[in-house]
Structure 1
């Protein structure tokens, strides 16, 4: 397990927290795609800059890349050996997004680009709700393909499974 993608069904699935904790336990540097994508004040990076930044990361001997960004997943897929997929229920994802909004109000999280204070709007919540089912189906198909390609796939669906996975690194 040297080149790891942490992806999830939705915002609020716990990708960033999981990746941070896994990075601490394995001493593998974590790259948060949101940090590469979002420039100060929520300005989007160009596709060229975003892609180039990822192409540099995947050349490293070890990495954890957190985030979905399926539009550029083809940069990461050929290099990854381990995929960790978090699929928590929609209600949990929504709760976590709302909790995060309150917890980080007016602050910048470590997994987001500098100068991007926590925000949320109705469009983002609507996006989560309306795309959850389709994303879930697509992600399951993607995980099956990864397994067929010989990649190690970890499918974690609840807090107990997530904590159990991380515990294996604490014990070693």
Structure 2
């Protein structure tokens, strides 16, 4: 495993899992949120975003976390493994609220400086809707762009811990 995508619902622990995988496998970690959001929560324009993701995904080895459905066509064919953090909605919702509280003064390490942690109604609605349209879009993209890609679907914090413990740098 040299190129691993970590995707799933907001609050599911994608960034944390990506960091842990990167450490365990000695792979560089790419947090897509850090590249997409500029200071003040300003999104990069679509053309620049696709060029950035294309450049990042062309690397020889990485653990990349983030959904960004508009770039799945660039990332999926290059991945060796996709880890889907598919935790229950309420677990993700609670984690997002906890994360907002934890990083209220400092900002998250996986975000660009100048993007203080925030919690907006639209984000909470997206978490609650994730098992529907967003996950279906992901699964459809896999079928089109990487039908032979190995997918590990983790449905609980316990499954995440057990799977991570089974991963070795060998």
TM-score, length basis structure 1: 0.89
Q: Which residue of 2 aligns with 1:109?
A: 108
The residue that corresponds to 1:166 in the other structure is 164
Partner of 1:52: 51
Distance in 1 between residues matched to 2:155 and 2:38, nearest whole Å: 32
Matches within 5 A, 1:19-98: 19-98=18-97
Q: 1:157 to 1:116 in 2, by over 3 A?
A: same
After superposition, give the CA deviation of every residue in 1:17-66 in whole Å (9 maximum; x if it has no partner).
Answer: 10010001001001011001000111111112221221111221111110
CA distance 1:37–1:171, shift in 2 (3 Å): closer
Cα distance between partner residues in 1 of 2:49 and 2:102:
28
State the 1:166 CA deviation. 1.0
The verdict on how the C-alpha distance between 1:131 and 1:157 changes in structure 2, with shifts beyond 3 A counting, is closer
Structure 1, unaligned runs of 5 or more: none
How far the C-alpha of 1:124 sits from its partner, in A, is 2.1
Matched length: 170
User: In structure 2, do the counterparts of structure 1 residues 155 and 130 end up closer, same or farther at CA, with 3 Å as the change threshold?
Assistant: closer
Unaligned runs of 5+ in 2: none
TM-score of the two chains, using structure 2 as the length reference: 0.90
Question: What is the aligned partner in structure 2 of residue 119 from structure 1?
Answer: 118
Q: Aligned to 1:5, what secondary structure does the other structure show?
A: strand
- Do the aligned partners of 2:24 and 2:169 also contact (CA within 8 Å) in 1? no
Contact 2:106 2:116 in 1 (8 A): yes
Q: Determine the structure 1 residue equivalent to 2:7.
A: 7
